[in-house]
């Protein structure tokens, strides 16, 4: 009986929840833009709202940083502000 219990315990796979792309993108945004010259708290808050969209969060995660990422994010934030 003990052997069966040990086999059953060994066959169980621990499921670790995957961090969502949205959460990863928000963490990346916060890490790269908080306190960055030219970016303020309103930009961050609008960025968090923008990244609630999984497709945009995925695009943001695929960027390596730098000017193209900055420009993409600025463009997206301008569009969000225009809609509001």
Domain count, the chain: 1
Helix count and strand count (H, E) for the chain: 5, 0
pLDDT in tens, 20-66: 999 999 999 999 999 999 999 999 999 999 999 999 999 999 999 99
Angle at 41 between CA 36 and CA 46, to 5 degrees: 110
Taking alpha carbons only, the member of 20, 74, 84 closest to residue 47 is: 74
Helix or strand (DSSP H, E) at 66: none
Predicted TM-score of the model (pTM): 0.74
52 lies in a domain?
A: yes
Q: Which residues fall within 8 angstroms of residue 39, CB to CB, at 6 or more apart?
A: 33
33 lies in a domain?
A: yes
pLDDT in tens, 4-19: 566 555 566 555 556 8
28 lies in a domain?
A: yes
* pLDDT of the residue at 81: 85
Domain that holds residue 55: 18-83
């Amino acid at each position: 009986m003990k052997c069966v219990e040990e086999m059953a315990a060994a066959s169980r796979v621990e499921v670790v929840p995957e961090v969502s792309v949205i959460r990863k993108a928000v963490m990346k945004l916060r890490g790269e833009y908080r306190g960055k010259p030219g970016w303020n708290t309103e930009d961050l808050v609008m960025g968090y709202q923008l990244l609630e969209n999984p497709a945009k969060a995925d695009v943001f995660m695929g960027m390596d940083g730098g000017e193209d990422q900055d420009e993409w994010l600025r463009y997206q934030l301008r569009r969000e502000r225009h809609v509001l």
